[in-house]
Structure 1
């Protein structure tokens, strides 16, 4: 799922400087994978594009101007942070989002990004504060509900995570990714009830939108092998295939965890990362999941907040 939390100004600016992803157009392949007991579809990993590099250079030139006011400088720092994030330079992105907040302390989108980075670092209390700030400034910012819900999920505060992810789902119940994240949180509280709710939401809302096919796998309507054959055949190009595989392998990893197979989950998380789709939340949290599944990553106890 794309990290869709750009401001309209940022989107317009990025469009004007023709920011676009670029990838090698290698032919996708299917390879047997003993590690996952199934075949896997592989895309050529996405590469940083010339347009992205040019965008960074242009934004740097604009930021060197002494004629900018605080509002303009904050917007440019934010836009450059988005580009840094898109190409996987997260430290540089976080620095620019912090600079944007110094110029404009009421920048909700920047708080949201900062919260995501803090979640990735497992600095959960600080992440909650960042998302709280975003929502205080923009109460209808539904992606802040998603990201705070994910932070609460990984921070072991599942009841609060369900509350936020249910709010995110309520804003657009026809979105399959909202169904998936709500299910992942609910399944930590009551697996049987969560599965029943997943099937109910699938039956009520599913459509031809591609993400519903991932939900169909979770709901037992389709097998992973059948899914992977379809994704290779229906992807228009290597970029779309890489993006879809980044998403699918992440959720298949989560499904493997629910089935008690952490070894298979590890391999799926690695396959998700292999596509280099840095700005998808599935890529972000595949990295975190691998840290948590490592031998030293044993801080996953689910201690719900009394609220």
Structure 2
């Protein structure tokens, strides 16, 4: 989900009426459902070229140049050129520091690369300039989660959820964060929130997380209700990420790694599920590396004895 604008999509939630229990959830797909990976459009390339040409002019006012740099940075970001986007965003801020949306984006970038203190500062800057920015609130809570400040992350995400209990993504991330503190209670709370769901697409992802529908049912709903390749790529990016997160929380690293890689495969660069899949893969690698080192040290101690 791109948390810089509202994304509310409807789906066939009637499948939940014939849901099966979590112990029956199995993957029955010989090949995982896929979409054609998104590519840079002609429009995006033309806009980047046009803005680059205009920015060479020396008679631009500071406000206009700042706006153009922000626009080109957004185009760079949408095609996965994040370092170039960051350069443009920083230049834009140097000309006009009062841009909360840029600080929010930079906060997400810092979260991706594990620079959490810088991420917190960026989100704080967004909220100082725009106290009602709900995306910065959510993204800051997630940054606190990845920075392993679970109590504070849970406190902020709970407040964020209460501001709009109908948002399935708020419920999802509150569950993910709360699972680090009280796993059983987190699941009970999510089940209660799911029972009051509406027909937004994101509640299907909650159903998957809870095991209320099988993966096969979810994929059938996506494939039968989606004809546009871009929309399919977006929905599959979200689905694979939260499926990966479910396996990750259960300690099933093999499936989690495969699913995070699938979430990356569609090139939906603007979605946080794509952005944070890189971070999740890095966390799994570090965890497995630490376990191997601990096992090796234990083996050395046993041999020495």
TM range (shorter): 0.7 to 0.9
Give the TM-score of the pair, scaled to structure 2: 0.84
1:192-238 deviations in Å (ceiling 9; x for gaps):
1111111111112x122211111112223211111111111111211
Q: Does the CA-based 8 Å contact 1:142-1:171 persist in structure 2?
A: no
**Structure 2 unaligned residues grouped into runs of 5+:** 7-25, 291-305
Determine the structure 2 residue equivalent to 1:2. 2
Q: Distance in 2 between matches of 1:80 and 1:55?
A: 8
Quick check: 1:74–1:104 contact (8 Å CA) kept in 2? yes
Contact 2:51 2:72 (8 Å CA) reproduced: yes
Give CA-to-partner distance per residue, 1:15-46, whole Å, 9 cap, x none.
xxxxxxxxxxxxxxxxxxxxx95422111111
**Number of equivalent positions:** 270
Alignment partner of 1:190 out of 158, 174, 182: 182
Equivalent residue number for residue 146 of structure 2: 154
1:122 aligns with 2:114: yes
- CA displacement at 1:295 relative to structure 2: 4.6
Offset of residue 163 of structure 1 = 2.2
1:232 to 223, 235, 244: 223
- Structure 2 residue 130 is the aligned partner of structure 1 residue 174: no
Unaligned runs of 5+ in 1: 7-35, 300-307
Query: Aligned partners of 1:65 and 1:175: how far apart in 2?
Result: 44
- Partner of 1:188: helix, strand, or coil? coil
What do you get for the CA RMSD once the two structures are aligned?
Answer: 1.9
CA contact (8 A) 1:131 1:148 kept: yes
Give the deviation of 1:68 after TM superposition.
2.4
Structure with a larger share of its residues in strand: 1
Give yes or no for the alignment of 1:207 onto 2:198: yes
2:259 to 258, 263, 268: 268
Of the two, which has the highest radius of gyration?
2
In structure 1, the residue corresponding to 2:200 is in which secondary structure? coil
Aligned pair partner of 1:294 in 285, 297, 301: 285
Structure with the larger RCO, 1 or 2 (CA within 8 Å, 6+ apart): 2
1:95-128: per-residue Cα shift (whole Å, max 9, x none)? 0110111011121111111111111110111111
1:5–1:109 contact (8 Å) kept in structure 2: no
**Cα–Cα, structure 1 residues 246 and 191, in superposed 2: closer, same or farther, change >3 Å?**
same
Which digits, 9 at most, give the CA deviation of each residue in 1:214-266, with x for residues without a partner?
11122232111111111111112111111100000000000001222111100
Q: Are 2:70 and 1:78 equivalent residues in the alignment?
A: yes
Please give the alpha-carbon distance, in whole angstroms, between the structure 2 residues aligned to 1:244 and 1:185.
Answer: 22
The match for 1:253 among 228, 241, 244 is 244
Is it true that 1:101 corresponds to 2:77 in the alignment?
no
CA distance in 2, matches of 1:127, 1:227: 34
4+ long deviations beyond 3 Å? 295-299
CA distance in 2, matches of 1:242, 1:181: 21
Q: Distance in 2 between matches of 1:89 and 1:178?
A: 28
Note closer, same or farther for the CA distance 1:272–1:133 as it changes in structure 2 (3 Å cut): same
Correspondences of 1:29-44 after superposition (within 5 Å)? 37-39=27-29, 40-44=32-36
Measured in 2, the distance between the counterparts of 1:69 and 1:186 equals 48
Distance of 1:242 and 1:285 partners within structure 2: 16
TM-score, with structure 1 as normaliser: 0.83
